[in-house]
C-alpha cells in the first residue's frame, strides 16, 4: 500500500511513476502541484466556455506513468494535464471518480481492462497516439464528449454500465473500434461524432437505452454494424452521413429505428443472406427522406411493424428480395427504375400497395413485374423448344397491358379496325365505306349494314374469313375492355 502523495511527489519532481499490484490510498489529484504550464488554443465553441472544467492552461507532466493491476481508492484528477510520455493504467481499479477533462496525451494511453467504479470523464481530451480501453469496465457514466482520438481508439469488448457519452467526439483514420462492446445501463450518445476511418460496432450490444448517432458523420471508411443489437431503446441515425459503406447485416432493432434524412454515399446493406443474414426491425423503421447514393440492400430484411420510405431517394439499385413488412410506405415512382428484379419482392410490393390502398402503384408495379418476367423468357430454346407462356404474355401485354392498362385495349381496338379497314380499301367505292364496314364488322353490326346480305359486299373467300376474324376479335376485345375498365372502378 502506498499513499497518493508519494506518487504526486514523484510527478512534481519529474520522476517516472512505475507501480504494479499496489493499493493507492488517498486522492490522486494534480490540481495542487507546482508544475510547468503551457497555453493551448481550444476551439472557440468548446464546452469549456460554459464552465465544465476545461482550461486553456495545461499542467505538463514529464513523468512516464505506469500504474498497472493496482487499486486506486480515492478520486483521480488529471484534468487539463499534458502527458509528455505514454501512460499505462492496464488492469487498474479506480474506486472513485476519475477526471481527465481537457487532458492531452502525447504518447499512447492504455487503460486495457481498467475498471472505473465511479464516474469517468475524458471530455475534450486529446489522444495524439493510440487510446486503448480494451475490455475496460465503466460502472458509472463515461464521458468522452468532444474527445479527439488521433490514433486508434480501441473500445473492443468494453462494458458501459451507465450512460456513454461520445457526443461530437472525433475519431481519426486510425478507426473507432467498439466490437463486442456492451452498453447495458444507459444511453449511448454518439450524436455529432465524426469518424474519419472505419467505425466498427460489430456485435456491439445497445441494451441499456437509446443508441444515438444523429448527425454523426462516417466520412473516411465503412460503418460496420454487423450483428449489432439495438434492443435497449430507440436507434437514432437522423441526418447521419455515411461516406463509405454502411453495413447492418444481421443487426436487430428492438424498438424504433430512425434513419430520417440519413445520407448513404456508399452501399447501404441491411440484408444479405450470404453475408451474415438480414437486419430485423422489431418496431417501426423510419427512412423518410433518406438518400441512397449507392446500392440499397434490404433483401430478406424483416420489418415487424411499419417501414417508412416516403420521400426517400434511390440513385442506384434497390434490392428487396424476400423482405417482410407489416406495411411498407413507399411510392412506386421513387423505386421503379432502381428495383432489382425479384419475383417474391414484386409480389410482396403489389400486395403491400393494395393493403395501403395505393392502387395505382399496385398496377404500375404489377405491369413492370410482368414486363420484366416476360423479357426473361425465351420464345424459343434449342433444348426446350417453344415457350408458349411467353407468347401468351406478349398477347396479354398488347391487348390489355396485363389487365391493368385499359388504354392498351383501346389502342388494340383501333389498330384492328384500322388495319382491316386498309385491307378492305380496294373492295369499296370510298374510304368511308371501307372503314365503316370494318367498324360494323368489328362491333357485330355487319348484318344491319348489309340488310342481311353480307356476302354481296365481299365475294372472295379470304375476305369473308378476314371479316369473320375481325368479328371474333371485336367480341373478345370489347369484352376485355369492359373487364379491364371495371377492374379499375370496382376495387
- Computed over every residue of the chain, the mean pLDDT equals 90
Question: pLDDT for 428-450, tens place per residue?
Answer: 778 888 888 888 888 875 544 44
- Taking the C-alpha atoms of residue 246 and residue 24, their distance in angstroms, rounded to an integer, is 45
- Taking the C-alpha atoms of residue 412 and residue 418, their distance in angstroms, rounded to an integer, is 10
- Which band of pLDDT confidence, cut at 50, 70 and 90, is reported for residue 51? low
Question: pLDDT for 336-382, tens place per residue?
Answer: 999 999 999 999 999 999 999 999 999 999 999 999 988 877 776 77
- Which band of pLDDT confidence, cut at 50, 70 and 90, is reported for residue 154? very high
- Least confident among 113-122, 273-282, 311-320, 384-393: 273-282
The pLDDT value recorded for residue 163 is 97
- Taking the C-alpha atoms of residue 404 and residue 360, their distance in angstroms, rounded to an integer, is 9
CA dihedral 90, 94, 99, 104 (to 10 degrees): -10
- Which band of pLDDT confidence, cut at 50, 70 and 90, is reported for residue 456? very low
- Average pLDDT score over residue span 172-196: 96
The pLDDT value recorded for residue 271 is 84
- Which band of pLDDT confidence, cut at 50, 70 and 90, is reported for residue 30? very high
Burial bucket for residue 453 (CB in 10 Å: 0-12, 13-18, 19+): exposed
Q: What is the CA radius of gyration of the chain?
A: 36
- Taking the C-alpha atoms of residue 147 and residue 150, their distance in angstroms, rounded to an integer, is 10
The pLDDT value recorded for residue 48 is 43
Question: pLDDT for 8-18, tens place per residue?
Answer: 999 999 999 99
| Cell, residue 120 | 469517468
Question: pLDDT for 292-304, tens place per residue?
Answer: 999 999 998 999 8
Best-predicted range by mean pLDDT among 247-251, 270-274, 398-402?
Answer: 247-251
Q: What is the pairing mode between strands 277-278 and 268-272?
A: antiparallel
Inform me whether the pLDDT recorded for 118 exceeds 60: yes
Axis crossing angle, helix 406-423 with helix 431-443, rounded to the nearest 10: 130
Domain locations in the chain?
A: 1-154, 399-489
- Taking the C-alpha atoms of residue 143 and residue 151, their distance in angstroms, rounded to an integer, is 19
The distance of Cα 421 from the centroid of its chain, to the nearest Å, equals: 58
Cβ of 51: how many Cβ atoms within 10 Å? 7
- Cβ neighbours for 165, distance < 8 A, ≥ 6 positions apart: 141, 142, 143, 144, 145, 189
The pLDDT value recorded for residue 95 is 96
- Bridge partners (DSSP) listed for residue 138: 116, 160
CB 235 within 8 A of CB 286: no
The pLDDT value recorded for residue 276 is 58
- Taking the C-alpha atoms of residue 335 and residue 100, their distance in angstroms, rounded to an integer, is 50
pTM, full prediction: 0.86
Amino acid at each position: 500500500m502506498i499513499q497518493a502523495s508519494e506518487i504526486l511527489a514523484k510527478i512534481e519532481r519529474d520522476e517516472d511513476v512505475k507501480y504494479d499490484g499496489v493499493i493507492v490510498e488517498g486522492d490522486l489529484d494534480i490540481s495542487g502541484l507546482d508544475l510547468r504550464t503551457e497555453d493551448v488554443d481550444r476551439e472557440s465553441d468548446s464546452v469549456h466556455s460554459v464552465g465544465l472544467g476545461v482550461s486553456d492552461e495545461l499542467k505538463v507532466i514529464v513523468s512516464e506513468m505506469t500504474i498497472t493491476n493496482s487499486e486506486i481508492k480515492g478520486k483521480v484528477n488529471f484534468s487539463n494535464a499534458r502527458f509528455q510520455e505514454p501512460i499505462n493504467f492496464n488492469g487498474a481499479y479506480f474506486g472513485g471518480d476519475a477526471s481527465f477533462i481537457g487532458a492531452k496525451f502525447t504518447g499512447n494511453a492504455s487503460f486495457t481492462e481498467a475498471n472505473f467504479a465511479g464516474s469517468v470523464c475524458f471530455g475534450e481530451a486529446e489522444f495524439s497516439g493510440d487510446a486503448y480501453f480494451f475490455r475496460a469496465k465503466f460502472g458509472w457514466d463515461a464521458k468522452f464528449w468532444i474527445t479527439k482520438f488521433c490514433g486508434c481508439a480501441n473500445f473492443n469488448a468494453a462494458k458501459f454500465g451507465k450512460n456513454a457519452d461520445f457526443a461530437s467526439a472525433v475519431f481519426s483514420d486510425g478507426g473507432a473500434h467498439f466490437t463486442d462492446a456492451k452498453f447495458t445501463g444507459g444511453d449511448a450518445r454518439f450524436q455529432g461524432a465524426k469518424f474519419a476511418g472505419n467505425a466498427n460496432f460489430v456485435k456491439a450490444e445497445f441494451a441499456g437505452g437509446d443508441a444515438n448517432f444523429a448527425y454523426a458523420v462516417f466520412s473516411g471508411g465503412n460503418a460496420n454494424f454487423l450483428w449489432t443489437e439495438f434492443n435497449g431503446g430507440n436507434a437514432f441515425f437522423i441526418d447521419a452521413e455515411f461516406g463509405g459503406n454502411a453495413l447492418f447485416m444481421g443487426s436487430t432493432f428492438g424498438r424504433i429505428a430512425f434513419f430520417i434524412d440519413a445520407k448513404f454515399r456508399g452501399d447501404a446493406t441491411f440484408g444479405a443472406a450470404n453475408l451474415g443474414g438480414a437486419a430485423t426491425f422489431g418496431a417501426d423503421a423510419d427512412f423518410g427522406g433518406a438518400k441512397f447514393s449507392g446500392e440499397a440492400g434490404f433483401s430478406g430484411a424483416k420489418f415487424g411493424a411499419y417501414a417508412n420510405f416516403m420521400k426517400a431517394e434511390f440513385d442506384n439499385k434497390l434490392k428487396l428480395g424476400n423482405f417482410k413488412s407489416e406495411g411498407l410506405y413507399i411510392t412506386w415512382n421513387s423505386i421503379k427504375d432502381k428495383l432489382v428484379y425479384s419475383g417474391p419482392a414484386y409480389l410482396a410490393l403489389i400486395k403491400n400497395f393494395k393493403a395501403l390502398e395505393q392502387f395505382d402503384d399496385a398496377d404500375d408495379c404489377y405491369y413492370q413485374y410482368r414486363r420484366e418476367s416476360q423479357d426473361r423468357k425465351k420464345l424459343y430454346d434449342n433444348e426446350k423448344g417453344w415457350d408458349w407462356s411467353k407468347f401468351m404474355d406478349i398477347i396479354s401485354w398488347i391487348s390489355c397491358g396485363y389487365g391493368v392498362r385499359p388504354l392498351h385495349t383501346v389502342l388494340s381496338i383501333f389498330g384492328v379496325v384500322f388495319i382491316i379497314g386498309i385491307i378492305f380499301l380496294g373492295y369499296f367505292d370510298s374510304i368511308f365505306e371501307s372503314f365503316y364496314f370494318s367498324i360494323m364488322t368489328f362491333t357485330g353490326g355487319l348484318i344491319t349494314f348489309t340488310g342481311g346480305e353480307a356476302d354481296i359486299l365481299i365475294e372472295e373467300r379470304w375476305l369473308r374469313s378476314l371479316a369473320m376474324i375481325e368479328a371474333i376479335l371485336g367480341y373478345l376485345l370489347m369484352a376485355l375492355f369492359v373487364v379491364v375498365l371495371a377492374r379499375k372502378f370496382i376495387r
